[in-house]
Chains A and B, each alone.
Chain A
Amino acid sequence: MAPANQIHDFHPPISPSGLYWVVPVASDGLRFSDDGKTVTLEMKDVPVVDQPRWPALDSVATPARMTFKMVWKSTGEAVVFDDPGKQFRFTGTRASCQLQAKVEVPSIGFSWRSDDIETSKADFAVMGEEVNGRYYK
């Protein structure tokens, strides 16, 4: 649930198929390091909407753009999530994750830029490999 003091909420529109805030990434936008310990996701000027009152159904969606860089780093602590009922298996490690971003809402003249990436943190992060659906055995 969104916090009461939320003033902006940026995300892509939900697709007609139901894909939830999912967009394709260009081939050079997502990089897994050779040693498998770092994942870097970088995208520029992603078309998103600003929905300050999300998840209210009548929340106005204002066109916006988002540029960001996100870095996952493995902690080395192994984790496995395996759910035969929901047909998925994840094998990987816990991770740290940090983010820097810039958002712009041209129609209202608003922009915002985060502090340097080192100043952010995520309380939960994992990275690894997954199979689900028809690939789950």
Chain B
Amino acid sequence: MTAQRDRRNFLKTTALGATVLTFGTRISSAQNSESPVTANGGTDPYPIPWLDKNGSHNQPAGLNLEPSHIFHFKGRVARCSTFTGMGTDNQGNRIPFGSPTTDYGAMQGEYWAARSAQQGAFTHI
């Protein structure tokens, strides 16, 4: 919910921001062309570069497959897949969950981003 709205709002903001930024950049360039800037990239982790068979960065789980979903990482991981279980919806219907692609992962430790070591915990859900 929030993520979707946030993303939508972010995209709108980015579109407007880009227009303003382009204009603003010209002004600031004219005023001061030597202003310092940060250009090390964001602190979000990198995805695993290898593509799965669907052409995405979604790592399947299994023996001899990489448990982590983030690259340039060292730390603790946990991985699982092929869940089965049952549950009940708000109408009282019994609905099972799980499939061979129902997989989860957890990662906690050091990763490399923005040209420096970062600490964090992440999950693939």
Contacts and interface: CB of A to CB of B under 8 A. Distances in A.
Interface of A: 1-3, 6-7, 11-15, 17-27, 29-30, 32, 39, 41, 43, 46-49, 55, 61, 63-66, 68, 70, 72, 79, 81, 83, 86, 88, 90, 92, 95, 97, 99, 101, 106, 109-115, 119-135
Contacts of A63: 1-5
A93 B66 CA distance: 14
B65 interface: yes
A39 B78 contact: yes
B85 A81 contact: no
B125 A68 contact: yes
Interface string B76-115: 1111111111111110000101110100101110101000
A49 B123 contact: no
B23 to A, nearest CB: 24
Given A20-B59, A124-B82, A48 B74 contact: no
Given A81-B66, A97-B104, 10 more contacts: A6-B99, A66-B125, A92-B67, A115-B87, A122-B82, A124-B62, A130-B66, A130-B68, A134-B112, A135-B73
A20 B58 contact: yes
B100 to A, nearest CB: 8
B66 A83 contact: yes
B86 to A, nearest CB: 5
A133 B112 contact: yes
Given A81-B63, A115-B86, A17 B78 contact: no
Contacts of B6: 47
Contacts of A122: 80-83
B24 interface: no
Given A63-B1, A99-B85, A110-B90, A125 B79 contact: yes
B104 A99 contact: yes
Contacts of A124: 61-63, 79-82
Contacts of B82: 122-124
Contacts of B83: 97, 99, 120-122
A13 B95 CA distance: 24
Nearest to A123: B82
Nearest to B90: A111
7 contacts: A79-B63, A115-B86, A119-B85, A126-B67, A135-B74, A135-B110, A135-B112
